């Protein structure tokens, strides 16, 4: 396999593999060359240029490596993977000798892990992974990493975001078994981890991600290694800068979009990580929405009301019944209590919290493209006018759901006036939002100009809400302690809601979550004193229950609170797993330094 001329002149990703299976003075290694060829094939399909060197003697090895890894090969940085598979020897000089076909035991080393690292560092790549599959290869990784670091300090690559990973198939004193390490590495790249649902791995190998970054590949390799007598050894520099992508075999481009978590939980009436469906009531409201959808006339339908009144639960119910995966769990032999919007009836749905007009357009465009309702745009995600033009040409009448428009902050009015109003000329747009007044201009809901509106704050709907809350409490606590009287608890929730100004449905969800975990005896005096009196109380209780982070035997008791505080600054779309620990470190009141692994720990313990 060779690089074509055009890609070789301006590469972005390069794989160089050296496989030595035949020797004059050492035992043959039948699997060394096939291991290199297999990895080359996988990476070539990922867009890497590849160069494979087979059974080199010393002169050929030096010559072909110089040709394959020329100085300043990457003009503006790029990804470089180098694999040596063959025999290795430790030497009196302290180097790891990468043994070519003509070498004799005890020869003065010319091809070493340091030499290979020096060539790799001089290519100008800013993302480098060196893989040494030889006996005693662990003895070479620290020196190789040091060489790369020193060279890059003198000859910095064009891209300053530098990451270097070096992995050895065996520890310093161990012999490497032919084909064992390569088989494990190739298995990960072909099939993924043994347990993709492992909390430490599920986010790293998400089916939504096309690629797996290098640091996560090394982490998984170490975590799943279970072979006695041989253990891989790794070292990395600047883990937060890792951008090198390997193919994710678990990626599923045809998987249906997951319902936005905020809508999903509201529609189910559950807490995070809780199974079950406890949605009750709101029959008239959902029937009205479904009737509007079936009429198929473009326009905006608004669901409004006070905070916590159940706006998201209603639009979330519509979205969930449209989603194929969620729908199969909702439908029961007894049928629905309300009209059915139908599978696939919602074509895109977004949560407007903290997003701009441009970000909202991108979210809608990405979903419509994934569902093959719009063709992919060669230039990437469409801007507002490009998206509106593409929708104009779409033969389908599209249905778009926007939840929490008021949570868009200052952008909410712009989203309403500059995007949703225009979108509603060709699409059905279902919006949930509180009203937001603006001086000397139209309010938020007036700016939308809805054709129909449901207000959950009216006296008539509020009376229905009390009945629905009692039904919800009975349904959600049905399998809990018999000492709890659901009617008394429902009355208490409504009373607390009216006293504290909390949204009744949201408070009902919070308190029933508490009671499912810690039941109370409603026959006792002052039993209500055990209930959360606000959303803040519930959050503090949940936060206190999260265990301390243990890292290298050191307890970090404030880790969960400080990581979640940082996440709050990612208002809206949140923070990526590499930026999140940086923000948490900067904001830490205890002076703690957080790592990407700590983010995955938090997601695991919170079961996010």
pLDDT at 40: 95
Q: 362 Cβ partners below 8 Å, 6+ apart?
A: 381, 382
Asked whether residue 7 carries a pLDDT value surpassing 70, the answer given is no
Span 425-450, mean pLDDT? 86
**Quick one: pLDDT band at residue 299, thresholds 50, 70, 90?**
very high
pLDDT at 400: 93
How many residues in the chain? 608
pLDDT at 442: 84
Asked whether residue 259 carries a pLDDT value surpassing 50, the answer given is no
Span 385-410, mean pLDDT? 89
Q: 196 Cβ partners below 8 Å, 6+ apart?
A: 202, 205, 250
Asked whether residue 124 carries a pLDDT value surpassing 60, the answer given is yes
Q: Contact at 8 Å (CB) between 490 and 473?
A: yes
Q: What is the mean pLDDT of the chain?
A: 82
Asked whether residue 212 carries a pLDDT value surpassing 60, the answer given is yes
Distance between CA atoms of 16 and 27, rounded to whole angstroms? 24
Among 134-148, 344-358, 526-540, name the most confident range. Answer: 344-358
Span 269-289, mean pLDDT? 64
**Tens digit of each residue's pLDDT (9 = 90 or more) over 546-581:** 888 888 788 888 898 888 888 877 665 567 777 888
The CATH class for the domain spanning 5-247 reads alpha beta
Number of neighbouring beta carbons within 10 Å of residue 195: 13
Q: pLDDT > 90: what percent of the chain?
A: 27
Q: What is the CA radius of gyration of the chain?
A: 30
Asked whether residue 3 carries a pLDDT value surpassing 60, the answer given is no
Joined tokens for residue 543: 């936060």
CATH superfamily of domain region 261-455: P-loop containing nucleotide triphosphate hydrolases (3.40.50.300)
Span 473-502, mean pLDDT? 78
Asked whether residue 136 carries a pLDDT value surpassing 60, the answer given is yes
Asked whether residue 111 carries a pLDDT value surpassing 90, the answer given is yes
**Tens digit of each residue's pLDDT (9 = 90 or more) over 166-210:** 898 887 666 777 678 989 999 999 999 998 888 788 888 888 788
Are domains 5-247 and 261-455 of this chain identical in fold? yes
pLDDT at 254: 58
Q: Contact at 8 Å (CB) between 88 and 134?
A: yes
Distance between CA atoms of 139 and 164, rounded to whole angstroms? 17
pLDDT at 495: 83
Burial 31-47 (b: 16+ CB within 10 A, else e): bbbebbbbbbebbeebe
**Summary count for the chain: helices (H), strands (E):** 23, 17
**Tens digit of each residue's pLDDT (9 = 90 or more) over 12-58:** 899 999 999 999 999 999 999 999 999 999 999 988 999 999 999 99
Pairwise pLDDT comparison (606 vs 96), residue with the higher score = 96
Q: E-strand spans in 4-78? A: 13-19, 49-54
| Residue 290, SS3 per DSSP | helix
Asked whether residue 477 carries a pLDDT value surpassing 50, the answer given is yes
> Would you list the domain boundaries of the chain?
5-247, 261-455, 467-541, 549-606
Distance between CA atoms of 92 and 95, rounded to whole angstroms? 7
**Quick one: pLDDT band at residue 68, thresholds 50, 70, 90?**
very high
């Amino acid at each position: 396999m060779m690089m074509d001329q055009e890609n070789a002149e301006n590469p972005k990703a390069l794989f160089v593999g050296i496989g030595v299976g035949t020797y004059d003075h050492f035992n043959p290694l039948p699997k060394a060359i096939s291991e290199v060829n297999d990895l080359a094939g996988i990476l070539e399909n990922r867009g890497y240029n590849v160069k494979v060197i087979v059974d080199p003697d010393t002169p050929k090895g030096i010559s072909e490596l110089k040709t394959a890894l020329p100085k300043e090969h990457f003009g503006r940085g790029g990804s470089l993977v180098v694999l040596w598979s063959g025999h290795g020897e430790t030497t009196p000089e302290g180097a790891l000798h990468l043994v070519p076909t003509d070498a004799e035991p005890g020869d003065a080393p010319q091809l070493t892990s340091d030499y290979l690292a020096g060539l790799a560092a001089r290519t100008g790549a800013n993302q480098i992974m060196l893989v040494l599959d030889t006996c005693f290869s662990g003895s070479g990784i620290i020196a190789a990493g040091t060489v790369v670091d020193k060279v890059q300090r003198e000859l910095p690559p064009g891209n300053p975001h530098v990451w270097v990973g070096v992995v050895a198939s065996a520890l310093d004193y161990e012999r490497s078994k032919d084909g064992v390490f390569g088989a494990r590495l190739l298995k990960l790249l072909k099939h993924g981890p043994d347990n993709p649902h492992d909390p430490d791995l599920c986010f790293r190998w998400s089916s939504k991600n096309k690629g797996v970054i290098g640091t996560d590949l090394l982490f998984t390799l170490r975590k799943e290694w279970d072979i006695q007598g041989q253990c891989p050894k790794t070292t990395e520099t600047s883990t937060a800068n890792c951008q090198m992508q390997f193919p994710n075999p678990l990626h599923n481009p045809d998987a249906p979009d997951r319902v936005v978590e905020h809508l999903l939980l509201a529609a189910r009436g559950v807490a995070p990580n809780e199974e079950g469906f406890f949605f009750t009531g709101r029959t008239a409201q959902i029937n009205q929405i479904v009737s509007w959808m079936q009429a198929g006339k473009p326009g905006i339908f608004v669901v409004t009301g006070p905070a916590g009144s159940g706006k998201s639960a209603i639009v979330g119910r519509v979205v969930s019944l449209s989603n194929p995966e969620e729908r199969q769990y909702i439908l029961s032999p007894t049928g629905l209590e309300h009209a059915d919007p139908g599978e696939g009836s919602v074509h895109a749905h977004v949560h407007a919290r903290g997003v701009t007009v441009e970000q909202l357009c991108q979210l809608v465009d990405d979903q419509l493209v994934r569902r093959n309702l719009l063709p992919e745009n060669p230039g990437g995600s469409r801007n507002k006018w490009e998206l509106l033009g593409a929708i104009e040409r779409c033969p389908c009448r599209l249905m778009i759901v926007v939840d929490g428009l008021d949570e868009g902050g200052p952008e909410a009015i712009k989203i309403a006036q500059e995007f949703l109003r225009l979108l509603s000329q060709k699409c059905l747009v279902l919006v949930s939002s509180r009203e937001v007044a603006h001086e000397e201009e139209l309010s938020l809901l007036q700016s939308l100009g809805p054709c129909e509106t449901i207000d959950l704050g009216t006296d008539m709907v509020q009376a229905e809400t009390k009945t629905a809350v009692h039904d919800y409490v009975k349904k959600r606590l049905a399998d809990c302690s018999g000492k709890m009287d659901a009617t008394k608890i429902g009355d208490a929730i409504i009373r607390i809601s009216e006293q504290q100004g909390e949204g009744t449905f949201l408070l009902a969800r919070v308190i029933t979550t508490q009671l499912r975990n810690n039941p109370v005896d409603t026959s006792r005096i002052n039993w209500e004193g055990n209930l959360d009196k606000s959303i803040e109380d519930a959050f503090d209780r949940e936060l206190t229950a999260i265990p301390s982070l243990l890292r290298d035997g050191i307890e970090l008791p404030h880790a969960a609170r400080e990581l979640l505080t940082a996440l709050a600054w990612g208002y809206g779309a949140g923070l990526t797993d590499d930026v999140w620990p940086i923000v948490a470190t900067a904001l830490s009141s205890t002076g703690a330094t957080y790592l990407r692994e700590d983010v995955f720990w938090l997601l695991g313990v919170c079961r996010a």
